[in-house]
Structure 1
Amino acid sequence: MNRQVNIIRWCLHHNAKDRPTSIDLLKCGWLPAERSYRWLWEEYKEHRGVNYDVLEMDHAFEEENAKMIASIKHSQKDRGIAEKKLMAALKAHYYSNEIEK
């Protein structure tokens, strides 16, 4: 498993500087790395568990508030930390409404 994780790390580090192409990904062993990632995800789900209700709530939140999220992320002003706090507050409000239902 260490070899698989190292391949993933190397691919991410190697391709961070410039855009990866399909040839680069094949050269750095992307296909084995993808299999490793899938295996790792299955192991995580088995040992830690995944709360699919929360994932569905996240997707519903993103779909319902896509316009607002886009305007926050791509506004003309540089908000930095304020943007993250606003998103957190928006999610908290959404989740509190979902729980009350």
Structure 2
Amino acid sequence: MPETVCLPPKLDLPAAGPLTTELLKHLDGDLTLDAAQVTQIGALCTQVIGSAAISLAAAGHRLTITNMPDRVVEQLQHLGFTPESLTEVRS
């Protein structure tokens, strides 16, 4: 069963360091990010999540994002991503 990390409401520039630290703790198995509380996502945190997806895939694991509010999905779309494309890793 994958571990679940609940994301904070604001995934802005100040959140990038703590998010990186938190995700580094969970690279040893499948991981689910619960985005139910997220109201804002910025480019740097999007990059951190994408990097975690790549690291997990390289280790044979998977990253998924659940419960992302429509508003945050729209913010991701402005950055060129969907929740699915952010966690998809193509070789």
Q: Which structure: greater strand fraction?
A: 2
Task: Look at both structures and tell me which one has the larger radius of gyration over its CA atoms.
Answer: 1
| Both proteins in one fold, TM over 0.5 | no
Q: Which structure: greater helix fraction?
A: 1
For Structure 1 versus Structure 2, the TM-score category normalised by the shorter chain is: under 0.3
| TM, length-normalised to structure 2 | 0.26
